[in-house]
Amino acid sequence: MPKSYEFSPTFLWGAATSAYQVEGSPLADGAGPSIWHRFVRTPGLVLHGHTGDVACDHYRRMKDDVLTMKQMGLNAYRFSIAWARIFPSGRGAVNEGGMDFYERLVDTLLENGIEPLPTLFHWDLPIALDDRGGWLNPDVADWFADYASAMYRRLDGRVKKWTTLNEPWVVTDGGYLHGAVAPGHRNLYEAPIATHHLLRAHGKAVRAYRAEGRHEVGLVVNLAPKHAASDKAEDVAAARRADAYMNRQYLDPVFLGSYPDEMKEIFGDAWPDWPAEDYELIRQKIDFVGVNYYMRDVIRHEERKWPVKTAVVPQALSTYTQTGWEVYSKGLTEILVWVKHRYGDIPLYVTENGAAFYDAPCARDGRINDPLRVDYYRDHLRAIHDAIEAGVDLRGYCAWSLMDNMEWSLGYSMRFGLVHVNFETQERTLKDSARFYAEVIASRGAALGAGG
Ligand code: BGC
């Protein structure tokens, strides 16, 4: 007998995007420039010199995009707010032109029965704040809390679940250690400082929420199981370091009040000691954790790979996405169960999960046939059902992404969307994966029982 699948009627079925990746019109209506506006203009940093100047033109096509979400049956939409639209220079007086866009977005979602899930920071720091040191300046925690408060005050009547940060690990690993994303620094000493101030900023924004908000606030992290490539002691130790670096570096301080011991092992004397009151600030009670899941990594020791000394071992029998990530749906169940066991029974959401594959448009009937992505979603949605059966309090799922968009330093070369975007004409076309996801939503999971 094939297994049957059923999700609770209150389960959130969503899709996610982020401001810089989809909006376009980055300076419209009084907005200030963000560090991505500068990063994309620095020669050689972004593939083919692509920018987010137009992206999916979502800033102007927002209403139609919400109707597309409705057509798919989504009951949630995860998006981010561009800090520099609200405060063009990071602080000061609210720019009503920018605020108006998010008010209209939230209202349009609500009118269509779609719950807004805003994230306050998805990597697009205002340039004016980067010029003052960005995440390296201790004052950034207050700047962020002030911005967060302005958003709570305006939208908390209409928004029930807030996220402070998206994937702080990528901000420090990519932005301050390896230079792959804005602000593009490569500095061993900066990365731990950025980590710490991101977490202080998160803590202050949660405190501010307790003073002004009436609903829920949480944090979104990206997690990946790190499996040792062999049972050799050095590979086992390497997998443990990789796990600390990516999975525990942020959640341990938030839930347990300290960083993993491995951080000192990895960073040596670049890892500072911090005052006790910082840990109290970071360890604020949160209402949920959002988990972004893309892959697992099989890890071996590699002395030359600075500073974690690990390498990922390719798996001969696995499928890989276009970004080179191993498709491994069991890892999603594993990581959700791990969060429950390590940090307690907190409500969880999968806030991102998806894959870039080459999508060939079918000339005859205009359909976009993306069988690899359909398989990917079928397997990962089954995996979240397994996690629920294992006792995880999982309350929703967001596919990454609603539509093809600007994949950061890879530009428009990687298509993650359920909805295809023709970047010449801005035409949107539902891919087969979007139709499949719509069937899963309409059947509350039953469609997962068939096929594959
Ligand atoms: C990010 C997204 C990104 C996606 C695919 C996540 O790390 O939050 O902004 O597009 O992964 O790389």
Nearest residue (CA) to ligand 1, atom 12 = 407
CA-angle at 128, arms to 125 and 133, nearest 5°: 75
- For the chain, the distance separating the N- and C-terminal CA atoms, rounded to the nearest angstrom, is 14
Question: Against a cut of 0.95, is the pTM above it?
Answer: yes
What residues line ligand 1, using a CB cutoff of 6 Å?
A: 18, 21, 166-167, 170, 222, 292, 352, 400, 407, 416
pLDDT one-digit tens code per residue, 256-289 = 999 999 999 999 999 999 999 999 999 999 999 9
Greatest extent of the chain over all pairs of C-alpha atoms, in Å: 65
**pLDDT, position 363:** 58
pLDDT one-digit tens code per residue, 24-71 = 999 999 999 999 999 999 999 999 999 999 999 999 999 999 999 999
Instruction: Please enumerate in sequence order all residues whose Cβ is within 8 A of that of 275, keeping only pairs 6 or more positions apart, or say none.
Output: none
Alpha carbon distance 239, 251 (integer Å) = 17
Alpha carbon distance 62, 244 (integer Å) = 39
For the question of residue 352 being annotated catalytic, the response is yes
Contact 46, 411 (CB under 8 A): yes
For the chain, give the mean pLDDT. Answer: 97
**pLDDT, position 2:** 78
pLDDT one-digit tens code per residue, 116-175 = 999 999 999 999 999 999 999 999 999 999 999 999 999 999 999 999 999 999 999 999
Alpha carbon distance 287, 342 (integer Å) = 16
Could you tell which of 222, 400, 406, 408 is best to mutate to test the pocket of ligand 1, judged by most ligand atoms within 8 Å of the CB? 400
Distances in Å between the alpha carbon of 402 and those of 268, 293, 354?
41, 16, 10
pLDDT one-digit tens code per residue, 323-369 = 999 999 999 999 999 999 999 999 999 999 999 999 876 656 778 99
Give a three-class secondary structure readout of 243-279: HHHHHHHHHHHHHHCCCCCHHHHHHHHHCCCCCHHHH
Q: Which of 452, 447, 437 is nearest to 13 (CA)?
A: 437
Tokens of 210: 């307790």
Please report where in the chains the tokens 């137009």 appear, as a residue. Answer: 54
Instruction: Name the CATH architecture for the domain at 12-225+241-255+284-296+315-449.
Output: Alpha-Beta Barrel (3.20)
Query: How many residues are there in the chain?
Result: 452
